[in-house]
Chains A and B, each alone.
Chain A
Amino acid sequence: MALILAFALVVVMVALGAYYFQSPYYSGVDRTPAQPVPFSHKHHVGELGLDCRYCHTSVEQSSFAGVPESEICMTCHSQLWTNADMLAPVRDSLRDDKPLRWRRVHDLPDYVRFDHSAHVNNGVPCEACHGRVDRMPLTTQKKTLFMQFCLDCHRNPAPRLRPPDAVFEMGWEARRGVDRQQLGERLMARYHTPSTERLTDCSLCHQ
């Protein structure tokens, strides 16, 4: 009797654990941290059509995409919406020379190495990891960023690679009638994408 009870307990624990580790609460999917200014990518990217690089300047040069300083907001908001309360923290930050504290939306554990420039310059689009940013009124995490997520692509990047001029675009699709896998394989040859062994080697991401 006790044995059955104990066994049942273990099963329940495992089931609860599995539920927990799959849940958005653990993975962070759909997490939308409150920001000091309610910045909208939907407005700035979806409607105004700004390019990611106008604000995330270092994404092509470094491991780090970079979140814009207040000065970048002020290149436009020195003239537009100059009295909006919503933007007061930005103006104060520039005046007092104190950076705004944006809260992180995506954060990998410190034992994982990640590099933006290595992806963006080799045909991996922002959209593959961040989703349709141009439709987000507030920035939200859309992918789990678990090891499984990274490996799904590292095992077969072809169908997700894009030509260089489409990396920053949202909602890009290959022309109709084009075989996505074949196009991807041609792109892999062009980008000299490393082999599957290399891309799934533990030391690539854990050093």
Chain B
Amino acid sequence: MKYWSWWLLVPALLCGCEQPDMADQPRLETYETGAAFNDGLAARPVPEGTVARDQRPAATENPLPINAETLAHGREQFDVFCAPCHGRNGRGQGVIVQRGFPAPPSLHRPRLRRAGDRHFYQVIRDGHGAMYAYASRVPEDQRWAIIAYIRSLQLSRNARLEDVPRDHRPLPDTGEDPP
């Protein structure tokens, strides 16, 4: 047997080598566990009372410009975070309520129509009764966008013909059949 032919086995043996270190490097990824802290978490919880860089003092009224962009943003956020319970129309019959969650009041109630923006802000931030706080998931700006959208929802249920610009009104009913 030619003894050099054994060299052909070398690549085969090398196939067995792995370098696990590159795939799992000695740094901690977000959900890995590490020994550096007592609780073993790599993702550190934010200490209470932390103020973010550039954080503005809490506004008392809606600081966002009220335009189509803000409303579109507010609608998106409302549909993600609030609609499961409050329903897309705000009447409080979302899908989770249909599965037995206590029904929230309709956002179109006179009391909530009269309530100031600040009240809505506090409900989102701190929760209300059976509703948990959404502060950790809905940051400052998104809260105000949602509130602007809720206002427009409320308005939409109580709109009068005079609120519609003249050239956007439906054609007046002339009592005749269309041609």
Residues of A within 8 A of B (CB): 1-3, 6-7, 9-10, 13, 17, 48-51, 53-54, 57, 64, 67, 69, 71-72, 74-76, 78-80, 98-99, 102, 104, 109-111, 165
Contacts and interface: CB of A to CB of B under 8 A. Distances in A.
5 nearest A-B residue pairs (beta carbon): A109-B23, A110-B25, A2-B1, A75-B132, A51-B80
Contacts of B81: 53-54
Contacts of A78: 130, 132
A49 B95 CA distance: 8
A10 B8 contact: yes
Contact of B30 (A6, A13, A64, A75): A64
Interface stretch (B60-68, B97-105, B113-121): B97-105
Contact of B31 (A51, A71, A79, A104): A104
Given A2-B5, A78-B132, 20 more contacts: A1-B1, A6-B8, A10-B8, A10-B12, A51-B80, A53-B80, A53-B81, A54-B137, A57-B137, A64-B30, A76-B84, A79-B101, A79-B102, A80-B99, A80-B100, A80-B101, A102-B31, A109-B22, A110-B27, A165-B76
A174 B116 CA distance: 42
A79 B100 contact: yes
Contacts of B23: 109-111
A10 B11 contact: yes
Contacts of A7: 8
A61 to B, nearest CB: 9
B12 A9 contact: yes
Contacts, number: 77
A3 B2 contact: yes
A49 B8 CA distance: 58
Contacts of A53: 80-81
Interface residues of B, number: 35
Contacts of A72: 137
Nearest to B5: A6
A6 B6 contact: yes
Contacts of A3: 2, 5
B84 A54 contact: yes
B126 interface: no
Interface string B1-42: 110011011011001000000111101011100000001010
Nearest to A79: B101
